[in-house]
Amino acid sequence: MLRVHNTMSGRKEELRTRREGEVGMYVCGPTVYNFIHVGNGRAYLVFDIIKRYLRYKGYRVLHVQNFTDVDDKIIGRAAEEGISPEEVARRYEEAFREDMRRLRVLPPDVTPRATEYVEKMVRVIEALVEKGHAYEAEGDVYFSVTSFPGYGKLSGRNLEDMRAGERVEVDPRKRHPLDFALWKRAKPGEPAWDSPWGPGRPGWHIECSTMSLEHLGMGFDIHGGGQDLIFPHHENEIAQSEAYTGEEPFVRYWLHNGFVNISEEKMSKSLGNIVLVRDILERYDPDVLRMLVLQTHYRSPIDFGPQALEEAKRAYGRLEDCLFALSEYLQQKEQVTSPARTQREVELTGFFMEAEERFEEAMDDDFNTARALGVIFELVKALNTYLDEQAVMATPAGKIIAGQGRDLLLKLCQVLGLFSPLQEEEEDLYGCGGDEELRREKKAAGDEASAESRLPAPQSLIELLIELRARARAAKDWETADLIRSRLEQLGIKLEDRREGGTRWKPA
């Protein structure tokens, strides 16, 4: 039974989806005006890990994630750089897609851009005005928080406390200090769309309500984002969506990831303490960043810094080393006369089964990746011990158990997104510049391609190719040897010849 922590109830609840076997998930996407920092990176990695685990559990996941491509910050950046807001948005959308691809974050199924849904947003705002939930003030339109009795239910605040805590100067045109903009009148030179209230653009909150309702409908399963989005963004999304449809709930489960902090302060652009994902990827394997995210429960804070990165690198190295050692063992020639399966192999088989169960139990408990990694490292330890015992020569029984151990280790790592190959199909999906139509066409074409071509190469096949390459080299057939190496690299598998002999491989 999978239990998830729902911010709405403040408790872990059993995941009961709207439709059996299917999860509709909306994750708030980036405002595209800058390269993403490690805090943003965490949010997208967390929901990638959640999505991968849901898939492992057998759910079909429909993942929608927007691009906020019209916003004050984009307009500001455009003025600074002397280019149009559209150019700023496209440039950083592309950069975001590239960062995600490098982090092996699976692409969402739909990536709506806010600017492509403005007409729909206008219709939602019109309906809210008609129903008395919104009002116009000199070309702006505000949502009236007092018109929605449930306001504050997600963040656990009530309007009176919030009013008392209000320090900023209140816009006299607002009926309540917490009323928020659904529509903003355009200033000269700003991007603008026609509306019943004159030229303007939508507010950030109405974008997410409109796009999530459009693609997932009312009552979808999971809505995600960082904890900073709980208030006001998600509180406002609930108010708008439930007031507009007259139904509830807008969302069944609200999931929020904890912050990445630096010296106990949230990493954020406004504090000027950001570290860009792409700068980290200059120095570290993308999986090291994923490992760093996995080592902490997704709702707890992460204290980011060189030490945390080095720790994650060491942990990742232990996984790599174990996989390489297993690979080498499996490449050894077998002892001709060897004992049959011993008590030791029987024990290990039992341990594998139990490890897989405990991994699943940890992940079923609100995606406890730290505990799940603990199980993976126990498996690593058991496998390393076994290999040490087998140091003399490989036996057939030993090879079987080592092969099973390696398959299990790799499988569990890949559920978390570690060692996951860059799948060509997905690379393509990311490379379409957000063009939904092109993406759909490519997907359809991909679906028609043989299933075989999309399967990641099984371990044994990689090893077979490594062996064939070694034979080609021994016969001084350098052309064949190089061909095998370069073809494998195109498939996302990198070979490394070791000084002490033998070849190991890793995802490129």
Give the residues lining the site for ligand AMP (CB under 6 A). Answer: 28, 30-31, 39-40, 42-43, 225-226, 228-229, 257, 259-260, 266-268
Count CA atoms closer than 13 A to 107's CA, side-chain side: 27
CA–CA dist 443, 107 (Å, integer)? 12
Say which entry of Zn ion, ligand AMP, none residue 114 contacts (CB below 5 to 8 A, set by partner kind). Answer: none
Residue with smaller CB distance to Zn ion, 97 or 223 = 223
Q: Based on C-alpha coordinates, what's the Rg of the chain?
A: 26
36: three-class secondary structure by DSSP: coil
Closest contact distance (angstroms) between CB of 294 and ligand AMP is 15
Pick what 15 binds: ligand AMP, Zn ion, none; C-beta below 5 to 8 Å, kind-dependent.
Answer: none
Least distance between ligand AMP and beta carbon 69 (Å): 12
Q: In the bound complex, what is the minimum distance in angstroms from residue 29's beta carbon to Zn ion?
A: 7
Size of the site for Zn ion (CB under 5 A): 2
Residue from 208, 309, 409, 493 touching Zn ion (CB under 5 A): that is: 208
Work out the end-to-end distance of the chain between its first and last CA atoms, rounded to an integer number of angstroms.
36
Q: Which residue is nearest to ligand AMP (CB)?
A: 226
Q: Would you say 32 or 481 has its CB closer to ligand AMP? A: 32
DSSP string covering 491-508: TTEEEEE-TTS-EEEEE-
Token digits of residue 331 = 């490449």
Among Zn ion, ligand AMP, none, residue 42 binds (CB under 5-8 Å by kind)? ligand AMP
| Contact by Cβ (8 Å): 238, 143 | no
**With respect to ligand AMP, which residue has the nearer C-beta, 240 or 327?**
240
Task: Say which residues have a Cβ less than 8 Å from residue 101's Cβ, sequence separation at least 6.
Answer: 107, 422, 426, 427, 430, 431
- Name which of ligand AMP, Zn ion, none residue 463 binds, using a CB cut-off of 5 to 8 Å depending on partner kind: none
Output 267 or 362, the one with its CB closest to ligand AMP.
267
Partner from Zn ion, ligand AMP, none binding residue 208, C-beta < 5-8 Å depending on class: Zn ion
Sheet containing 302-303: order of strands: 265-266, 260-262, 302-303
The dihedral formed by the CA atoms of 385, 389, 392 and 397, expressed in degrees to the nearest 10: -90
Please give the angle made by the CA atoms of 272, 273 and 276, to the nearest 5 degrees: 105
Q: Which does 97 bind (CB under 5 to 8 A by kind): ligand AMP, Zn ion, none?
A: none
Shortest CB 52 distance to ligand AMP, Å = 18
Q: How far is the CB of 15 from Zn ion (least distance, A)?
A: 21
**How far apart, in whole angstroms, are the C-alpha atoms of residue 161 and residue 214?**
34
How would you classify residue 441: left for phi > 0, otherwise alpha for psi between -120 and 50, otherwise beta? alpha
Q: How far is the CB of 231 from Zn ion (least distance, A)?
A: 13
Strands 22-27 and 134-137, by their bridges, are unpaired
Instruction: Decide which of ligand AMP, Zn ion, none touches 212; Cβ closer than 5 to 8 Å per partner kind.
Output: none
Q: Tell which positions 16-45 bind Zn ion, by CB under 5 A.
A: 28
Please identify, using beta-carbon distances, which residue of 42 and 439 lies nearer to ligand AMP: 42
Query: By C-beta, is 80 or 482 nearer to ligand AMP?
Result: 80
The contact set with Zn ion (CB under 5 A) reads 28, 208
